[in-house]
Amino acid sequence: MDGFLLSRAEHTVHATGTRRLFDDVPAATRALRRGDADLVVGALPFSPHRPVALAQPEDVDITDGPWQAPDDLTDLPRVRLSAELPLPRVHVERVRRLVEQLSLGEMEKVVLARRVALEVDEPLDPLALAARMIERHPDATTYALDLSAAGERYWGHTLVGASPELLVRRRGRTVTCRPLAGTAARHPDPEDDRRAGDELLSSAKNLTEHGYVVEWIRSRLTPLCSELRISDPELTATPDVWHLATSITGTLRDSDTDALTLARLLHPTPAVAGTPTAAALDVIARVEGDRRFYGGAVGWCDADGDGDWFVAIRCAELSSDGRRAVAWAGGGIVADSDPAAELDETSAKLRTLLGALGV
């Protein structure tokens, strides 16, 4: 796939071809401010120290409504789960060890993820997977993009997912964020499902975890905004999970602060890393290794500084031949986390991707 797709219920940005690649944010923002580029699309990796995957596209099609897949798009081939990394029992054990560490008070929260490896009988078209995810998750933001700009190890790889979480949106001087943190699995029985949502909304553990994220965003935006409005936490749902969500809206003091700069400033939030951030990132690197673009940010920024950036979750990275993929899911661990429940949370989140693939 040579291009970028970001599909929402309200509008779609579909870019094809490449005029220029950027492996760092300052180069991309300079091109936008100088008028050398009218649009930059792509992704930020999870680690702030890794190369980004940003590009100035050749052609851009912006339309109302969700992306309409072409009629000749291929069906999804059969996909097999080939490995769980680590095994579920190992993930439970490492959560247990992390809970012990957190109980000592050195950190407040660490987001710990696990991944699954997938094998495909025939090449998997990223846009075919995106079309399936749009169909299954119409309220999410579905994305598919080429990661080649991040360097040789990503050449020809694509990232495909359906994110429920807005990192940051900029329109003029108005900035909007809607972080998610705190999760409960959905249930097929309506009464059990309603009870799960109500319990999440009243959960001290999950409200505390959610509060870390809101406070992080508040601290980052306050110096940039003359006004900041923050709602109370509320419930939001995907077909697979309940989340706690908070709406944050601010007014920029400086109209030159663009959406890409804001995304870089806010990422990674405690929703995908933890708090304190530096300590959480160290733990993640030691326990998990490189998350690549899972937990990063996906979006676009135009020459006016406007743009949308979403947290790169509920996703998989596809190999260049389309025959292999890796999908991730994580959960925020705090001192009173239950290791078995944390494993269940990652399984529920993985259903967004695995369900679309029929796994």
Catalytic residues, by residue number, are: 109, 165
The residue type at 306: D
Hunting for tokens 């560490």 — which residue is that?
A: 101
Buried-exposed string 235-270: b where 16+ CB fall within 10 A, e elsewhere: ebbbebbbbbbbebbbebeeeebbbbbbbbebbbbb
Could you give phi then psi for residue 339, rounded to 5 degrees? -55, -40
Sequence-distant contacts of 90-99: CB under 8 A, at least 24 apart: 91/342, 91/343, 91/346, 92/339, 92/340, 92/342, 92/343, 93/339, 94/287, 95/333, 95/337, 95/339, 95/342, 95/343, 96/339, 98/283, 98/287, 98/333, 99/333, 99/335, 99/336, 99/337, 99/339
Judge whether 212 and 275 are in contact, CB under 8 Å.
Answer: yes
- The Cα 283–Cα 54 span in angstroms is 27
Q: How many residues does the chain have?
A: 359
Query: Distance between the two ends of the chain, CA-based, in angstroms?
Result: 23
Asked if the peptide bond before residue 268 counts as cis, ω within 30 degrees of 0, the response is yes
174: which 2 tokens? Answer: 């108005």
The four Cα atoms 295, 298, 301, 306 give a dihedral, to 10 degrees, of -70
The residue type at 179: P
